[in-house]
Amino acid sequence: MKRLVVLAAVLAFCACTWASDPPLTYVRAGKLLDVRSGKILTDQVIVIRGDKIERVASAAQVQIPAGANVVDLSRATVLPGLIDAHTHLFLTGEDNGRYDEQLLKESWQYRTIEAVVNAKRDLDAGFTAMRDVETEGAMYSDVDVRNAINRGLIPGPRLQVATRAISTTGGYPLEGYSPEVTVPSGAQIVDGPEEARKAVREQIKYGADLIKIYGTHKFHFTPDGTMVSVPTFTLEEVTAIVNEAHSEGRKVACHAYGGAGLKNCLDGGVDSIEHGLDLDDGAVAEMATKGIWLVPTLYVYEGPTRTEDNASSGGKVSRASLHEPSFQKAMAAGVKIAFGTDVGPFPHGTQAVEFELMTKFGMSPLAAIQSATVRAAELMGWSDQVGVISPGNFADIIAVEGNPLEDIKQLEQVKFVMKGGVVVRSNLAK
């Protein structure tokens, strides 16, 4: 009897050991883009244990045991999962132009259902991590989407979420309603350093991973074709936000086009400028010196937005026409650039088109890919988790058929997506 008990204990112990030992997966990579060096390595094997990368080595150095779980990407180019550092899961491209209606007529629950669909579209397109920079009136619902993804309830990229975003009175829609009517706001509205600090505390309390602020909001074009970008926060307000966020270990992303509102964000010590489409020399120099990131979001200002701007400026200027030289100036000055698209106003899952514009405006394909992998991971403080295929990082991997360094549009047709060692999608030709 005693012997049986011992035997049972040994068996239980073994079963327990087996169960807790994560399974191994071997990914054969015909070509593997090392995003740090820019080199394409051939015939590599990525050894994955559970959700993490354990080893990356040439095929000759790795013994794959018979019967092992092998993912064959030997005819593809493998690279790290892409990172979009500026997204809006709670805006749905198909609904563009219906901003007020979404806030007034759709419940947070309905909008969350849309966000779940959008998260899947982004993941399927190869975006395995994202910084979602505000819910546009859907309060803290992004925290729920992030948590549901992390708990494995729904598929989606790894998320950092900003929750509500912060602006000042008159500094964010909904706008244009009678003062007698109370309407919802797309962002949390504060005035003065005290309220600003309190909003940061509140947002972090309810789950914000980062703080998003509107350093500028309204803008217009003067008859001579200059863009005037109206500031929102004072320097004191930005400083209060940044100090509070930083003391709680959160970064601050500032939406700003140009002018005094941008300057207040830079002087106040934000971590990234979103859009930055009208940067002057002083702003670029300050960003380079202080290491403030630029998340440009070029594509969202093309198409209908360019047409509208041209109409309102008498054909003299558009946000898109300012953006190109602004982006180039930042690049030339060595400002740190992270890939971000503002996807939401246009359909989720289509944002890799941003790469085309970055390269069209003079960024090398490698630098554009780095901005969406190793660099975006750095901005998010996740360098030891994502953005590079290296031991210890999550096994977030994508594959394309051709060479993205020669044809950047390959990234618009990602054929294989793996997140945390699990295959999300595979459409590679056999």
Task: Rank residues 106 and 342 by Cβ distance to Zn ion and give the closer one.
Answer: 342
Residue in the shown chain whose Cβ atom is closest to Zn ion: 342
Q: How far apart are CA 312 and CA 315, in angstroms?
A: 7
Task: Rank residues 70 and 230 by Cβ distance to Zn ion and give the closer one.
Answer: 230
Task: Rank residues 165 and 287 by Cβ distance to Zn ion and give the closer one.
Answer: 165
Stretch that binds Zn ion, among 116-124, 154-162, 192-200, 336-344 (CB under 5 A): 336-344
For residue 107, the one-letter residue type is S
**Does 342 contact Zn ion by CB under 5 A?**
yes
User: Which one, of 217, 275, 263, 212, lies nearest residue 241 by Cα?
Assistant: 212
Task: Rank residues 136 and 396 by Cβ distance to Zn ion and give the closer one.
Answer: 136
Stretch that binds Zn ion, among 18-26, 114-122, 339-347, 421-429 (CB under 5 A): 339-347
Q: How far apart are CA 30 and CA 9, in angstroms?
A: 45
Cβ(255)–Cβ(225) under 8 Å? no
User: Which one, of 402, 398, 430, 394, lies nearest residue 416 by Cα?
Assistant: 398
Stretch that binds Zn ion, among 91-99, 164-172, 210-218, 335-343 (CB under 5 A): 335-343
DSSP-assigned letters across all residues of 240-301:
HHHHHHHHTT-EEEEEE-SHHHHHHHHHHT-SEEEE-TT--HHHHHHHHHHT-EEE---GGG
Q: How far is the CB of 46 from Zn ion (least distance, A)?
A: 34
Stretch that binds Zn ion, among 116-124, 170-178, 310-318, 342-350 (CB under 5 A): 342-350
Residue count, binding to Zn ion (CB under 5 A): 1
Could you give the 3-state DSSP secondary structure of residue 318?
coil
Task: Rank residues 144 and 342 by Cβ distance to Zn ion and give the closer one.
Answer: 342
Task: Rank residues 197 and 275 by Cβ distance to Zn ion and give the closer one.
Answer: 275
Q: How far is the CB of 171 from Zn ion (least distance, A)?
A: 14
User: Which one, of 414, 344, 332, 333, lies nearest residue 372 by Cα?
Assistant: 414
What tokens were used for 109? 């629950």
Q: How far is the CB of 180 from Zn ion (least distance, A)?
A: 30
Residues that bind Zn ion (CB under 5 A): 342
